Structure 1
């Protein structure tokens, strides 16, 4: 029997005082608020009173730290899955806008020629494919119960759009994937269906700086 539900959890707020695009860079862990947001996501999962059979995480520090309260709540050891990682991006380590921002440097404009692919990083299609394969493999790895996978905004959004049958190209400003949000899917026959979205950290999210996501 495959997993009953798969919950894709985004990490909490990152300590990023300079507002850079952190991507896959080392040294970007959760802020104090981010830890509280991660705890809110764990509490939401506990409150559902559903058995959690397995926990997976992207290898990056911010996702591992966000998985920690879930691991504690359910007595699970997180499994690191490289396929859940933040996409590659040629602008990581830079500030995108404002004075001195990467978008104002003509040397970077060649990376902006095709926003529908996108030309500045990992293709949307490949992000969706690796995420969906990770989810399918995780399903087959349990006999019953739910699975939690802690990942990043764009990978989770790619799963949402692929499952919904929407084009993968999109306006990043319109993503519905808040910090520490939980997007839930379940298998119905041969189809993967999105069955829920929650923002358990919404009550404290107004304080958060959601900067640096790819």
Structure 2
């Protein structure tokens, strides 16, 4: 049975001086550090390609930060970027807000906290995982068509959709503590498939050298 790997790449650091939860808002670009992160990932993937890896398919969320993260990899590997809305960021009631304890405790937000396991303040975890896994399976099939056994695809997405997709692949509950997500900026969460079944999940941080001091925004 052919083995295919689909890498879920989180975008790099975003220029966000006001510290808002940007969600699906348009025109949030990578910071200077974010562009450097994207370049490091591209170098990492190009080296793997030079060493024999068959990286044949590149997909990105339609949001600006994902497209900008994908661009250096497209140039390094000579691939076109396919845009897939299924791997976009999660919907969130707090989009555009500065999420803080003071903001969350305002009475107008209370109706959105009735079920934190779903979560009730945004797109359900299961819905996110389902749409991303559909895109992953399509990318897996396309990589097989383009490169055969051992081919690989890269999908540039966002922290929460990547994390819940990983937990689905590992047969773990989707509810979780956002502070414990293993999905740093410009990290790779790699799903290894035999046929259409996930046989392994791997994680790496090609841009780890740039993580110290990087901006953080509350998770969706």
- TM-score, L = length of structure 1: 0.94
Q: Give the drift of 1:159.
A: 1.2
SS in 2 for 1:194: strand
Deviations 1:123-174 (A, max 9, x none): 0001010011111111222322210000000111011100111000111110
Matched, 1:168 2:174: yes
CA distance in 1, matches of 2:197, 2:66: 27
CA RMSD after TM alignment: 1.5
The answer for the alignment partner of 2:154 in structure 1 is 148
Q: Which moved more, 1:7-16 or 1:194-203?
A: 194-203
Label 1:93 to 1:197 Cα distance change in 2 as closer, same or farther (>3 A): same
The answer for the alignment partner of 1:138 in structure 2 is 139
1:179 is aligned, of 167, 170, 185, to: 185
SS in 2 for 1:4: strand
Label 1:212 to 1:65 Cα distance change in 2 as closer, same or farther (>3 A): farther
Q: 2:10 touches 2:157 (CA, 8 Å); kept in 1?
A: yes
Deviations 1:49-72 (A, max 9, x none): 312111000000000000000000
Q: Give the drift of 1:3.
A: 6.5
The answer for the alignment partner of 1:6 in structure 2 is 6
Label 1:152 to 1:2 Cα distance change in 2 as closer, same or farther (>3 A): farther
The answer for the alignment partner of 2:42 in structure 1 is 42
Structure 1 consecutive aligned stretches of length 4 or more whose deviation exceeds 6 Å: none
What is the 5 A alignment of 1:29-178?
A: 29-49=29-49, 50-97=53-100, 101-142=102-143, 143=145, 144=147, 145-178=151-184
Q: Give the drift of 1:112.
A: 1.3
Q: 2:29 touches 2:68 (CA, 8 Å); kept in 1?
A: yes
**Structure 1: stretches of 5+ with no match in the other structure:** none
CA distance in 2, matches of 1:176, 1:202: 13
SS in 1 for 2:185: coil
CA distance in 2, matches of 1:69, 1:173: 29
Deviations 1:83-141 (A, max 9, x none): 0000100100001115xx42131111111121100001110001010011111111222
Q: 1:23 touches 1:212 (CA, 8 Å); kept in 2?
A: no
Label 1:2 to 1:14 Cα distance change in 2 as closer, same or farther (>3 A): farther
